[in-house]
Amino acid sequence: MQKVFDEVYSLDKRCYDEFGLNEDILMENAAQALSRHIYKKFKKGSSVFILCGPGNNGADGITLGRILQGDYEVYLYLPLGAKSKMCQLQLKRAKKVGIVPIDGIKECDIVVDAIFGSGLNKPLSEDVIKLINKINFFKSYKIACDMPTGIDTKGNPNPQAFKADITISMGAYKTALFNDNAKDFIGKVKVANLGVSRAIYESKSDTFLLEKRDMKLPIREQKNSNKGDFGHSLMILGEKKGACIIAAQSSFAFGVGLCSVYSKKAVKLPKEIMLTKSIPPNTTSIALGMGLADRYDHKLIEEIIALDIPLVLDADILKSELILKILAKRKEIVLTPHPKEFSYLLKICGFGEFEVKDIQSDRFKLAREFTKKYKDIVLLLKGSNTLISQNRRVFINTFGTNALSKGGSGDVLSGLIASLLAQGYTTLDATISASLAHSFAAKRFKKANYSLGPCDLIEGIKCL
């Protein structure tokens, strides 16, 4: 996993104060990172339109133009002028190598957005919005310098944003790049080295970007074993039976030795899943809430609370006042809400009323606040970028796909987490590995993305 930061000004300042670097050196390295990407991807002689702002992000763009001049057909446009000292200095240098700024936009092979970058804290002007809207229709390959113009410090288009094919983030990954509302604007993300290794440039962080290597599959190493060695997950059947059965099949496919469904009534189950009318004594994890609706068995929930067994709580249980009793008495819990369910959860737990749009615009802050109050639990907030939080730390899974926007996908995830918990994973490790496995199983699906179903996901889990 890699570190992510809310801001990097303090990291830049360390370069000045501790490492003897200056603004000019950092800017040269930023522009070199942009140029390396262009040299690697495009032949010399290609046309490059660089849209520059009046501050230091614009200065990065001007520096890039000076580096490319001679090898590429460079067009520089400064609609807001050059106001910062570095922007003015870089413009003088660019003019000395023959660059003459143009007076309007031009569709080229490559468009580089260097207007504002990160740190935007106010809405874009009407003129800039019109400019971005026009450029977004260009068929050019689009690069954002540091941050697509219009994405604010929380990761929201304010109110519009440049739509990049790739964003080259200066120095480090930034939180705003990974808010759901930024997903359709940032494209791929790379980090530019500014003159020192990231290991030196970066400081401590409580936010992390997950990588494929963070997924720890439950590969069986022990040769002398039996089914009891790999745990027993229990799914609680609700009104909508299919959700629970999907979770059970998912759990069984992800390595658990035994999987049961709890129901007082007879129900047809897949042959490998057991039916039980009581909690088996060898149960090592329980998943509750999938398809539950209003079928709350208060006696059963009291029994579950009294057991020292890890819990996965999903869907309808997150809308019930019963969640307060569970959170008050248990610690090994994973909560897996989507934004609407999280709005119910926040209200029930005393955080106030939040609409889905409020949650989506400030996902990181709300996840941190929730897990600051409930330090031991793990929160998995579903979305285009799934956030996993415990004790204010946040882990970001960016590998999800819109193919997962189908009924049953969340039930598969609950089953995966329950399976790993049953096999002895910690709540955090189980949630991270299950979330990544869920994403990679979806990404490996070869058919049309609109057709992915829960059974396809489960089959994909078997092939990771």
Q: What is the CATH number of the domain that holds 112?
A: 3.40.50.10260
Whether 222 and 197 map to the same domain: the answer is no
Tokens 């997962």, located at residue: 404
Q: Using one digit for the tens of pLDDT, what is the confidence trace for 40-67?
A: 999 999 999 999 999 999 999 999 999 9
Whether 119 and 223 map to the same domain: the answer is no
Whether 365 and 218 map to the same domain: the answer is yes
- Is pLDDT at 183 greater than 80 in this prediction? yes
What is the CB neighbour count within 10 angstroms for residue 447? 9
What is the CB neighbour count within 10 angstroms for residue 118? 24
Which amino acid, residue 217? L
> Given 168, 186, 204, which residue is the final one in a domain?
204
- Is pLDDT at 370 greater than 80 in this prediction? yes
Whether 198 and 220 map to the same domain: the answer is no
Q: Using one digit for the tens of pLDDT, what is the confidence trace for 78-97?
A: 999 999 999 999 999 999 99
Whether 169 and 247 map to the same domain: the answer is no
Q: Using one digit for the tens of pLDDT, what is the confidence trace for 307-351?
A: 999 999 999 999 999 999 999 999 999 999 999 999 999 999 999
Helices (H), 188-310: 198-201, 241-253, 298-306
The pLDDT of residue 298 = 85
Whether 220 and 194 map to the same domain: the answer is no
Whether 232 and 123 map to the same domain: the answer is no
The pLDDT of residue 224 = 92
The domain total for the chain is: 2
- Is pLDDT at 188 greater than 80 in this prediction? yes
What is the CB neighbour count within 10 angstroms for residue 45? 9
The pLDDT of residue 45 = 96
Whether 14 and 56 map to the same domain: the answer is yes
Rounded distance, CA 419 to CA 400, Å? Answer: 20
> Given 204, 224, 240, which residue is the final one in a domain?
204
Q: Using one digit for the tens of pLDDT, what is the confidence trace for 28-43?
A: 999 999 999 999 999 9
Q: What is the mean pLDDT of residues 232-260?
A: 96
pLDDT band at 205 (very low <50, low <70, confident <90, very high): very high
Rounded distance, CA 118 to CA 146, Å? Answer: 6
Whether 329 and 181 map to the same domain: the answer is no
pLDDT band at 296 (very low <50, low <70, confident <90, very high): confident
Q: Using one digit for the tens of pLDDT, what is the confidence trace for 90-137?
A: 999 999 999 999 999 999 999 999 999 888 888 999 999 999 999 999
The pLDDT of residue 22 = 94
Query: Does 159 sit behind a cis peptide bond, omega within 30 degrees of 0 on the bond before it?
Result: yes
The answer to whether the beta carbons of residues 392 and 204 sit under 8 Å apart is no
Whether 258 and 164 map to the same domain: the answer is no
The pLDDT of residue 67 = 97
Mean pLDDT of the chain: 95
pLDDT band at 294 (very low <50, low <70, confident <90, very high): confident
> Given 179, 204, 229, which residue is the final one in a domain?
204
Q: What is the mean pLDDT of residues 199-227?
A: 95
- Is pLDDT at 295 greater than 80 in this prediction? no
- Taking Cα atoms as reference points, which of 175, 216, 232 lies closest to residue 389? 175
Query: How far is C-alpha 163 from the chain's CA centre?
Result: 18
- Taking Cα atoms as reference points, which of 210, 208, 205, 170 lies closest to residue 189? 170
Whether 288 and 374 map to the same domain: the answer is yes
Burial class (CB in 10 A: 0-12, 13-18, 19+), 176: buried
Q: Using one digit for the tens of pLDDT, what is the confidence trace for 123-179?
A: 999 999 999 999 999 999 999 999 999 999 999 999 999 999 999 999 999 999 999
3-state secondary structure of 185: helix
Q: Using one digit for the tens of pLDDT, what is the confidence trace for 411-456?
A: 999 999 999 999 999 999 999 999 999 999 999 999 999 999 999 9
Residues of the domain holding 199? 2-204
**Which DSSP letter does residue 157 get?**
B
320 half-sphere exposure, CB direction, 13 A CA radius: 20
Whether 361 and 335 map to the same domain: the answer is yes
Q: For residue 271, what is the domain's CATH number?
A: 3.40.1190.20
The pLDDT of residue 293 = 80
The pLDDT of residue 120 = 85
The pLDDT of residue 297 = 81
